[in-house]
Chains A and B, each alone.
Chain A
Amino acid sequence: KAGVTQTPRYLIKTRGQQVTLSCSPISGHRSVSWYQQTPGQGLQFLFEYFSETQRNKGNFPGRFSGRQFSNSRSEMNVSTLELGDSALYLCASSVRAPFYEQYFGPGTRLTVT
Chain B
Amino acid sequence: ILNVEQSPQSLHVQEGDSTNFTCSFPSSNFYALHWYRWETAKSPEALFVMTLNGDEKKKGRISATLNTKEGYSYLYIKGSQPEDSATYLCAEETSGSRLTFGEGTQLTVNP
**A55 cross-chain contacts in B, Cβ below 8 A:** 96-97
The listed residue (B45, B95, B97, B103) touching A42 by CB distance below 8 A is B103
Q: Is the CB of B43 within 8 A of A90?
A: yes
Report whether over half of chain A's contact residues are helix, strand or loop; otherwise say mixed.
strand
**B49 cross-chain contacts in A, Cβ below 8 A:** 99-101
Q: Is the CB of B98 within 8 A of A56?
A: yes
CB of B53 to closest CB in A, whole Å: 15
- The interface on chain B, measured as residues whose beta carbon lies within 8 A of the other chain's beta carbons, has a size of 24
Q: Is the CB of A90 within 8 A of B44?
A: yes
**A44 cross-chain contacts in B, Cβ below 8 A:** 101
Which of B32, B89, B97, B99 has most chain A Cβ within 10 Å? B97
Closest partner residue, chain B, to A94 (CB atom): B97
Q: Is the CB of A43 within 8 A of B89?
A: yes
B-contact 0/1 string along A78-112, CB 8 Å cutoff: 00000000000010101001111111111100000
